[in-house]
Structure 1
Amino acid sequence: MSLARVHNFSISLDGFGTGEGQSHDAPFGHAGEGLHEWMFATGFWHKMIGRPGGTGGVDDAFARQFTPGIGAEIMGAGKFGPPGWHEDPEWKGWWGPNPPFHTPTFILTHHPRPSIEMEGGTTFHFLDASPAKALETAREAAGGQDVRIGGGPTLIRDFLAAGLIDHMHIVVVPTLLGRGVRLWDGLEGTEKDYEVEATSSPSGVTHVTFTRVGL
């Protein structure tokens, strides 16, 4: 059975995975891009966007685990676009003509639409389904490889609550957001099902990995 994995998902010290007030011009609401600056500095990210340079070290090593072995992704409607994107038939996500996923990518939404084939191997599919059913569909498309659970925080929380996450990489960023969408609400005791390891980085973030016990 392929695994369901979360990678490079950043949260604030107070547990928020995105800020309040998401819009077309503010994909992460009032949080801006502050939760992701650690990743934007890495060699992995620079290579992904076709720019030379970038840092190595702990952050880069963790960031690079984003891609290997992934055959499909599942993301929430709020990651694909701002509130109301389903009313715009031309909306194709935040990432331009060549999104960084390069696999079949399933968006969970109450407003399904026809699939959109993008450059680079990404095809967006739109599902109105439970986490379990969505994972079953994505695994079929992944061809034996793993499925990345891409976020946002509500989607990851729903998959955790359903017991469907096998491996999870959470990056704790030393900032306080105060408002937005929290990851951990309602998940008390979840850590008991996982082996948990924490690695500090000179950048100030802490990489926390959760691997299902017995995996």
Structure 2
Amino acid sequence: MSEVRVHNFSISLDGFGTGEGQALDAPFGHAGERLHEWFVGTRFFHAMDDLPGGTLGADNAFAEEHNPGIGAEIMGAGKFGPPGWQDDPDWKGWWGPNPPYHTPVFVLTHRPRPSIEMEGGTTFHFLDTTPAEALAQARTAADGADVRIGGGPTVVRNYLAEGLIDYAHIAVVPILLGRGVRLWDNLESLNHTYNIESVSTPTGITHLTFTKNQ
């Protein structure tokens, strides 16, 4: 069976995966882009935007694991758009006409709408269902490839809590946010379900990997 993976999901030292006050001009609330500066600076990310340069080392090695083998993605409503996007029939996500996914993407929302086909192979499907049922649909769409859980923190937390994730890479960024949406709440037994390893880098990022016990 295909695996369920999380890659390059960034949190603060105090466990927040996004800041408070998400809005159209602030996709991550008061956190701004601070959680993702390490990822944006890698050679992998630069190459996606056809830019030269970018950092190498462990940060880039983890970043490069983002896409290979992924056949579908699951994300939450807060990743797809700012609060209230469901009231805008023309909203098609933050990413323009050619989103970076190039796979079917399943958006979990209590207010589903018809699917949206975008350029480059991305099609957004909108589901009001349980994590397990959404995963079943994503696996079918992935056609044997792996499914990526893309966030935000509530979605990643729910999939971890149900033991539905096989491998997760969490990047801990050396900042404190103080408020927002936390990842780790009510996951105190996670260490019994997953083998946890860590890698620290000169940029200050601590990369945590969670591999589900067999």
- TM superposition score category, shorter chain reference: over 0.9
User: Once the two structures are superposed, what CA deviation does each residue of 1:19-70 show, in whole Å capped at 9, x if it has no partner?
Assistant: 0000000000000000000001001101112212111111010001000010
Structure 2 unaligned residues grouped into runs of 5+:
none
Q: 1:119 corresponds to which letter in structure 2? A: E
Secondary structure in 2 aligned to 1:156?
helix
Partner of 2:197: 197
Structure 2 contact 17–181 (Cα < 8 Å) conserved: yes
Query: Residue type matched to 1:203 in 2?
Result: T
Count of aligned pairs? 214
Residue of structure 2 in register with 1:112 after alignment: 112
What residue identity is the alignment partner of 1:44?
Answer: F
Instruction: Could you list the structure 1 runs, at least 4 aligned residues long, displaced by more than 3 angstroms after superposition.
Output: none
Give distance in 1, aligned partners of 2:191 and 2:74: 22
Give the superposition deviation at 1:119. 1.0
Q: Give 1:131-146 correspondences, 5 Å limit.
A: 131-146=131-146
CA distance in 2 between partners of 1:35 and 1:52 (Å): 22
TM-score by length of 1: 0.98
The C-alpha deviation readout for 1:165-199, integer Å capped at 9, x for no partner, is: 11000000000000000000011111211111100
Structure-1 residue corresponding to 2:57: 57
| CA distance, structure 2, for counterparts of residue 26 and residue 66 of structure 1 | 24
Matches within 5 A, 1:141-152: 141-152=141-152
Deviation of the 1:122 alpha carbon = 0.6
Q: Does 1:126 align with 2:110?
A: no
Aligned residues of 2:163 and 2:193 also touching (Cα < 8 A): no
Residue identity matched to 1:48: M
1:66 counterpart SS class: coil
User: Hey, what's the Cα distance between the residues in 1 that align with 2:185 and 2:55?
Assistant: 33
Helix, strand or coil: the match of 2:106?
strand
TM-score (norm 2): 0.99
**Percent identical residues:** 71
What CA RMSD, in Å, does the superposition of the two structures yield over aligned residues? 0.6
Structure 1: which 5+ residue stretches go unaligned?
none
State whether residues 108 and 126 of structure 2, in contact with CA within 8 Å, keep that contact through their aligned partners in structure 1.
yes
Maintained 8 Å contact 2:86/2:111 = yes
Give the letter for the 1:118 counterpart.
M
Shift of 1:144: 0.2
TM alignment of 1:65-214, pairs within 5 A: 65-214=65-214
Who is 2:23 aligned against?
23
Q: d(CA) in 2 for partners of 1:90 and 1:54?
A: 35
Counterpart amino acid of 2:145? Q
Give the distance between the partners of 1:120 and 1:200, measured in 2 at CA: 35
| AA partner of residue 192 (structure 1) | H
Q: Equivalents in 1 of 2:49, 2:119: separation in Å?
A: 14
| CA distance in 2 between partners of 1:54 and 1:118 (Å) | 28
Counterparts of 1:30 and 1:138 in 2: how far apart (Å)? 32
Return the alpha-carbon distance in structure 2 between the equivalents of residues 65 and 192 of structure 1: 25
> Quick one: distance in 2 between partners of 1:11 and 1:73?
20
